[in-house]
């Protein structure tokens, strides 16, 4: 973690590139209260959370002012529902999450992103980020105890709350298998947890944080079937009653999402429920057919990639 302080302190373009390389963006942003290009308007109010309904309204975005990353993207995440983003590499999935988290602000004329009817550009970044939980592909843990790593989600959480969160995240039994239980040190200088275990610690932490909105970036790498099932179960617990937007690679996630958005070259080319999209016989159906043939039902639903996505 310490190695990231240097680059993050160098602002401007470095900030942007490091930003994308950040794995646990949420944690680092909390630690490094650095100014970014995104500024709060003087006297900006806090976001007032109602149901946690998200709306993208004709969003156009370009990172460099020349190439289009998002092209007239409009969709809604109704309260408590789950939306899965699918599409090939570079189609704009991560950009949607980055904009919602306000790594970049839309300019006038580029559309609007609303949460519960408030344009996110007009509210404080701190209040926005309090309302959003991020489950990255690969969580970095603090070099501290498991208890600390989970309890970080909510200031002053009790050991009972931490254990309840770990149980819901399907991590309690694994934690109890360590000689020091919840006091086991993890991270670089402690027990090395697998990717799936780190993700479950991150899910437990987010359960304690209790945000109304979730951003999930699913791992592309294959997990063994039992880990996969544990993570699915943990995520299902987490998603109850929250609005979620997931970059989805697993057919199981995609099949259970309330809405699937199929992205191509910055545009939403199809949207709907799994069964409807299959029936339509379009881009999603073709993608589904190809992947089912090569990977079976537990396989990934997007093409193999050379590098994992970062939020």
Both tokens assigned to 132: 């959003």
Residue 224 CB-density burial (10 A; 0-12 exposed, 13-18 middle, 19+ buried):
exposed
Q: How many residues bind ligand ATP (CB under 6 A)?
A: 15
Q: Are 291 and 220 in contact (CB under 8 A)?
A: no
* Closest CB to ligand ATP among residues 154, 264: 264
List binders of ligand ATP among 171-230 (CB under 6 A).
Answer: none
Selected from 93, 172, 209, 242, the binder of ligand ATP by CB under 6 A is: 93
**Cα dist from 143 to 157, 204, 229, whole Å:** 19, 17, 27
Selected from 56, 73, 81, 87, the binder of ligand ATP by CB under 6 A is: 87
Beta strand pairing status for 54-61 and 70-77?
antiparallel
Residue in the shown chain whose Cβ atom is closest to ligand ATP: 309
* Closest CB to ligand ATP among residues 47, 86: 86
* Closest CB to ligand ATP among residues 103, 152: 103
**Cα dist from 87 to 20, 53, 84, 96, 152, whole Å:** 19, 23, 10, 12, 33
Residue 156: count of CB within 10 angstroms of its CB: 6
List binders of ligand ATP among 252-291 (CB under 6 A).
Answer: none
Q: Are 254 and 84 in contact (CB under 8 A)?
A: yes
Choose one: 83-91, 225-233, 250-258, 291-299; the region binding ligand ATP (CB under 6 A): 83-91
Q: Does 304 bind ligand ATP (CB under 6 A)?
A: no
Choose one: 50-58, 87-95, 135-143, 238-246; the region binding ligand ATP (CB under 6 A): 87-95
Partners of 112 in the β-ladder:
57
Q: Does 90 bind ligand ATP (CB under 6 A)?
A: yes
Nearest to 152 by CA among 205, 213, 211, 212: 205
Q: Does 75 bind ligand ATP (CB under 6 A)?
A: no
Q: Does 95 bind ligand ATP (CB under 6 A)?
A: yes
Applying CB under 6 A, the residues found at the interface with ligand ATP are 16, 20, 63-64, 69, 87, 89-95, 305, 309
């Amino acid at each position: 973690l310490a190695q990231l302080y240097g680059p993050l302190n160098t602002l401007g373009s470095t900030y942007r590139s490091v930003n994308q390389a950040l794995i646990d963006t949420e944690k680092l942003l909390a630690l490094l209260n650095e100014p970014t290009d995104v500024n709060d308007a003087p006297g900006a109010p806090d976001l007032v959370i109602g149901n946690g309904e998200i709306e993208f309204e004709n969003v156009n975005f370009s990172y460099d002012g020349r190439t289009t990353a998002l092209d007239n993207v409009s969709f809604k995440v109704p309260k408590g529902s789950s939306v899965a983003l699918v599409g090939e590499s570079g189609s704009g999935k991560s950009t949607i999450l980055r904009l919602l988290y306000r790594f970049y602000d839309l300019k006038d004329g580029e559309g609007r992103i609303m949460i519960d009817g408030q344009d996110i550009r007009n509210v404080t970044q701190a209040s926005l980020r309090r309302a959003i939980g991020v489950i990255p592909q690969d969580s970095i843990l603090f070099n501290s105890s498991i208890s600390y790593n989970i309890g970080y989600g909510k200031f002053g959480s009790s050991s009972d709350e931490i254990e309840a969160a770990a149980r819901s995240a399907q991590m309690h039994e694994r934690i109890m298998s360590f000689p020091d239980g919840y006091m086991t040190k993890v991270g670089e200088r402690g027990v090395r947890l697998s990717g799936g275990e780190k993700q479950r610690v991150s899910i437990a932490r987010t359960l304690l944080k209790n945000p109304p909105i979730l951003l999930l970036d699913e791992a592309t790498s294959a997990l063994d079937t039992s880990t996969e099932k544990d993570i699915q179960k943990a995520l299902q617990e987490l998603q109850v009653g929250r609005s979620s937007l997931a970059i989805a690679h697993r057919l199981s996630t995609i099949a259970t999402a309330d809405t699937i958005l199929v992205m191509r070259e910055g545009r939403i080319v199809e949207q709907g429920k799994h069964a409807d999209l299959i029936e339509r016989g379009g881009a999603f159906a073709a993608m589904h057919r190809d992947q089912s043939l090569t990977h079976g039902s537990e396989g990934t639903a997007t093409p193999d990639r050379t590098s994992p996505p970062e939020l």
